[in-house]
Amino acid sequence: MKQHENFPLIPIKKGDGVWLIDTDGNRYLDAVSSWWVNLFGHNNPRIKEAIKQQLDTLEHVMLAGFTHAPVVELSEKLGKLTGLGHAFYASDGASATEIALKMSFHYWRNSGKPQKTQFISLQNSYHGETLGALGVTDVAIFKDTYAPLLMQSAQMPSPDFRLAEAGESAEDFALRCADALEKYVSTHHAQLAAFIIEPLVQCAAGMGMYHPIYLQRAREICTQYNVHLIADEIAVGFGRTGTMFACEQANMSFDTLRTNGFISRSHTVNTVRPELVEGLPYENKQTEVCQIADFICLSKGITGGYLPLSCVLTKDEIYQGFYDDSTVRGFLHSHSYTGNPLACSAALATLAIFESDNVIESNKAKTAYIQTKMQALTHFPIQHLRHQGMISAFDVMTQNTHFAKDCYAAALNNGLLIRPIGNTIYFMPPYTITESEIDFMIQATVKVLQKLI
């Protein structure tokens, strides 16, 4: 509150594509998609129209004992896209995390394994900030104050390749971290309900990216030791990492990944371990999320950034674990706005845009363009320039302890909205960004770096 005496809030009047326009008419390019939620620009005509139409029909009805077309259609579509055929809805990401954690625990309890009460996550992970979600989050600034209130969980070494030893490839490092995971799980599995993970990119950790082989190994380890794998795709789902869901890349052959440019230059890819290649049933084709995750949490981009909605998808086996005459064996997580029709209609419009505009395919050219243009930034003292689909990031080498704040302010003065995390500057723009808008984004960043470094 006090900081805003020097940093007044910016009153936004209007959104237009990638631009936010304040009450004085200043324009800001929204290079963070309004905290990673906006996929197809502000004031998007198609999503707006879908919500308006739904508003003329039905604004809301409780899902207890009732249902409606948008929630059924959306569940069917998400089921097809992920291979996980059962959906549970809430309104925000943290709630999705809570639901997945509770459901995992409750499933084991219903299956005669009530001792499986513990969760593990990655070092530097972020899964939301309600008490349960914070319990598996590992970001000190959000967590430490509330530590006495939180459930205990253990953190596994993060495969974020910035943490690799000098000379170690991203892949070797990911495999080394997976070995540490296996060591922990092999001794604690009897008490473990689930491993919750952000697939491919730990966004809140400062866009920490890692090699997809880690997901493959995590799946193998979780299967071997009977532990659920919860994929928190709240930030990375819906095309952010270059595929519809980040988990899909764990099952792709590494040649496919390289050809499609998913593994950026910074990932040094060595030969894949032969036993893993042979074990890959889905060589050379995009596969479903269900090959990796027992649960997937979705939110943020699900409505294109229009309305709050989240969803936890899971598989038949979990669903069957709750299928019973006894009410208390059911999953009792009451949420007033579950499956809200307006939010579901925005989500359906978002998925329709993916289909009609072939978004995953057409983003590839944009990703390539951003990567090329970002080479201009390598003249500055930066390191770990990295890309994963429509996420690009680099770390600035500076002694300035207020770098994030100074950079944010300087960028706004140049018409650019970025929110550095520590020394990490990242771009996560709406997919509708044009080449000239990308040019603007990079040029503004160059001006900011010239001023600050």
Indicate which single residue of 70, 86, 87, 92 sits in contact with ligand PLP (rule: CB under 6 A): 92
- Phi (first) and psi of residue 39, to 5 degrees: -105, -40
Q: Which stretch binds ligand PLP (CB under 6 A): 90-98, 261-269, 389-397, 435-443?
A: 90-98
Site string for ligand PLP, 321-350 (x = CB under 6 A): ------------------------------
Site string for ligand PLP, 120-159 (x = CB under 6 A): ------xxx-------------------------------
Indicate which single residue of 29, 39, 90, 94 sits in contact with ligand PLP (rule: CB under 6 A): 94
Residue closer to ligand PLP (CB basis): 37 or 71? 37
**Least Cβ distance, residue 299 to ligand PLP (angstroms):** 5
Q: Which stretch binds ligand PLP (CB under 6 A): 10-18, 23-31, 89-97, 325-333?
A: 89-97
The residue with its CB nearest to ligand PLP is: 93
- Phi (first) and psi of residue 386, to 5 degrees: -145, 155
Residue closer to ligand PLP (CB basis): 299 or 345? 299
**Least Cβ distance, residue 294 to ligand PLP (angstroms):** 17
**Least Cβ distance, residue 92 to ligand PLP (angstroms):** 4
**Least Cβ distance, residue 52 to ligand PLP (angstroms):** 24
Residues 27-46 that bind ligand PLP (CB under 6 A): none
Indicate which single residue of 192, 196, 203, 353 sits in contact with ligand PLP (rule: CB under 6 A): 203
Task: With CB under 6 A as the rule, give the number of residues binding ligand PLP.
Answer: 15
Which class for 177: exposed (0-12), middle (13-18), buried (19 or more C-beta within 10 A)?
buried
Q: Which stretch binds ligand PLP (CB under 6 A): 1-9, 86-94, 218-226, 401-409?
A: 86-94
**Least Cβ distance, residue 159 to ligand PLP (angstroms):** 16
Site string for ligand PLP, 161-200 (x = CB under 6 A): -------------------------------------x--
**Least Cβ distance, residue 300 to ligand PLP (angstroms):** 6
Indicate which single residue of 20, 215, 234, 438 sits in contact with ligand PLP (rule: CB under 6 A): 234
- Considering the rule CB under 6 A, would residue 235 count as an interface residue with ligand PLP? yes
Amino acid letter, residue 159: P
Indicate which single residue of 241, 299, 303, 392 sits in contact with ligand PLP (rule: CB under 6 A): 299
**Least Cβ distance, residue 448 to ligand PLP (angstroms):** 24
Cα distances from 64 to residues 67, 94, 313, 329, 340, in angstroms, run 8, 22, 18, 17, 12
Residues that bind ligand PLP (CB under 6 A): 92-94, 97, 126-128, 198, 203-204, 232, 234-235, 299-300
